[in-house]
Amino acid sequence: MESLEGKSILLAVSGGIAAYKMAEVASALRQADAQVHVLMTENATKFITPLTFETLTGNRCFVDTFEKDEDYNVAHIALAQQADLMMIAPATADVIAKLAHGIADDMVTTTALAAGCCKMVAPAMNTAMLENPVTQDNMETLGQYGYQIIPPDTGMLACQTVGTGRLPEPQVLLDYIAWQLARPKSLDGVRVTVTAGPTEEALDPVRFLTNHSSGKMGYALAREAMLRGASVTLISGPSTLSAVPFVRVENVTTAKEMLHAVQDVLPKTDILIKSAAVADYRPTHVYDEKIKKGSSKLTVELERTDDILEWVSHNRHPGLFVCGFSMETQDMVENAKSKLESKELDMIVANYLNEPGAGFAVDTNVVTLITRENTLPLPMMGKDQVAERIMDIIAIKRSENVPSQR
């Protein structure tokens, strides 16, 4: 998870079996260097103890509104004022009803009423309770008061039935928090399209041509843009990576499908980042049946695929920022600069395939960021940090160019 240093987060836990999941959330937030304070309802303490949260967060866990604390004069007001975000999870039907109607009779509800920060509610309960119109109305009311409702998952519930009402997994709750707090929203309202991963070109029903791209760099870029508030479309070739939260994903297989996906989304794109390793050639003929073993040699004829960036260069609209990638095995900077020119790019990210710490499957990369004015070699760093640096440079370049192009 991204660093949350300097952020103060309130976790409010109410009395549902899923309360145990909040221990993992609290622990991960502390490891991300956030200040974490946990509040519990009386009922929540029947499922998990305050001591668990105190040990994980290093801070006192509050249950009783009237208990004196030497650090805070009026704890629920002080905690509410210092928080950057309050997450009520799991939120029972009872707590949701109270919050919707301004009832403030315990530590969780008084603090929520006093908190002016971003407030998120993660309902967790039996399906019938959740679907009851009273609960639905209360959730809608909370939405109108500015609470963000985190949709409950579907699956096995504590009552041994399968239905909707499960608290989402800790990672999902952490994603919501990171989305809100991890970065300033410098790309709010900006539409970013990222292509990622390899493409596959079929030869017969069994075989295809592809490359070693894992998609890690592109997925890291999509996440970074999402954290900065952009509306992100990820056009992904075949990849085993987990989906990037809050990002619209379009799965494609071939270079042709990737071209069509880019063509569809380009008019609604402000920043296009083409990190995909697109196949340059595909078999001229795709066999309907499996090619059987024959003589000792087999010749396969290949034809060029469309160059997607070349198509973009002829169809770009004013204000569009285009960043390409260039993976080389020799003369990296010269080759990348000539692609910057020929594909009419605003920026290109170049790397050597054979450099230690760079390349396809590893979590690190060693890149050089090249624009028309500058060549900036970066040291080896994680692909998520590379994504951060790339987005920083794109933000600077856009701020220089966008007004003059409008």
Binding site for ligand CTP (CB under 6 A): 255, 274, 276, 278, 280, 305, 307-309, 324-327, 339
Question: Least distance (Å) from ligand CTP to the CB of residue 227?
Answer: 22
Cβ-based neighbour number of residue 298 at 10 Å: 9
Three-class SS of residue 225?
A: helix
Give the whole-angstrom CA distance, residue 385 versus residue 391. Answer: 10
Q: Determine whether 323 is an active site residue.
A: no
Determine which helix (DSSP H) or strand (DSSP E) holds 30, and give its type and residue range. helix 21-31
Contact 336, 370 (CB under 8 A): yes
CB of 244 to ligand CTP, least distance (A): 18
Residues 6+ apart with CB under 8 A from 352: 327, 328, 329, 332, 358, 366
Comparison of 100 and 332: residue with beta carbon closer to ligand CTP? 332
Identity of the residue, 228 or 343, whose beta carbon is nearer to ligand CTP in the bound complex: 343
Q: Pull the structure tokens for residue 251.
A: 């799965």
The backbone torsions φ and ψ at residue 290, rounded to the nearest 5 degrees and listed phi first, read -60, 135
* Beta-sheet pairing, 231-236 with 191-196: parallel
7 versus 339: smaller Cβ distance to ligand CTP: 339
**What is the sign, positive or negative, of the torsion defined by CA atoms of 95, 100, 106, 107?**
positive
Out of 117, 118, 159, 323, which one is annotated catalytic?
A: 159
Indicate the residue among 2 and 280 with the shorter CB distance to ligand CTP: 280
In the complex, least distance from residue 203 CB atom to ligand CTP, rounded to whole angstroms: 18
Q: Which is nearer to ligand CTP, 110 or 326 (CB)?
A: 326
Minimum Å distance from CB 18 to ligand CTP? Answer: 43
Q: Nearest 5 degrees, angle CA 369-CA 374-CA 379?
A: 40
Q: Find, among 336, 333, 282, the residue nearest to 309 by Cα.
A: 336
Cβ 279 to ligand CTP shortest distance, Å:
7
Least distance (Å) from ligand CTP to the CB of residue 264?
15
CA distance 20 to 44: 10
The b-or-e profile of 371-389 (16+ CB within 10 A means b, else e) is beeeeeebeebebbbbbbb
For the annotated catalytic residues, the residue numbers are: 159
